[in-house]
């Protein structure tokens, strides 16, 4: 993770759902946020973890024992 940056509770929940292969729409419906918010959170997760896609985010999360 980028030095000094941590995932929020919401970002961890989104990341968990990404690992379960939920779509952004399914995540939005499940936790009650807009699709736009989920897209923004997903991009923040990628930035914090230093990755560029879902697969990399999930792999990195497992390596860092976030999942």
pLDDT tens-digit series, residues 4-51? 468 999 999 999 999 999 999 999 999 999 999 999 999 999 999 999
Angle 24-28-31 from CA coordinates, rounded to 5°: 135
Domains of the chain: 9-63 (1.10.10.10)
CB 46 within 8 A of CB 3: no
pTM of the model: 0.85
């Amino acid at each position: 993770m980028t030095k000094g940056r941590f995932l929020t509770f919401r970002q961890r929940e989104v990341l968990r759902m990404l690992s379960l292969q939920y779509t952004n729409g399914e995540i939005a419906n499940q936790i009650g946020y807009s699709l736009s918010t989920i897209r923004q959170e997903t991009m923040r997760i990628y930035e914090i973890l230093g990755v560029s896609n879902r697969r990399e985010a999930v792999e990195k999360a497992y390596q860092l024992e976030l999942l």
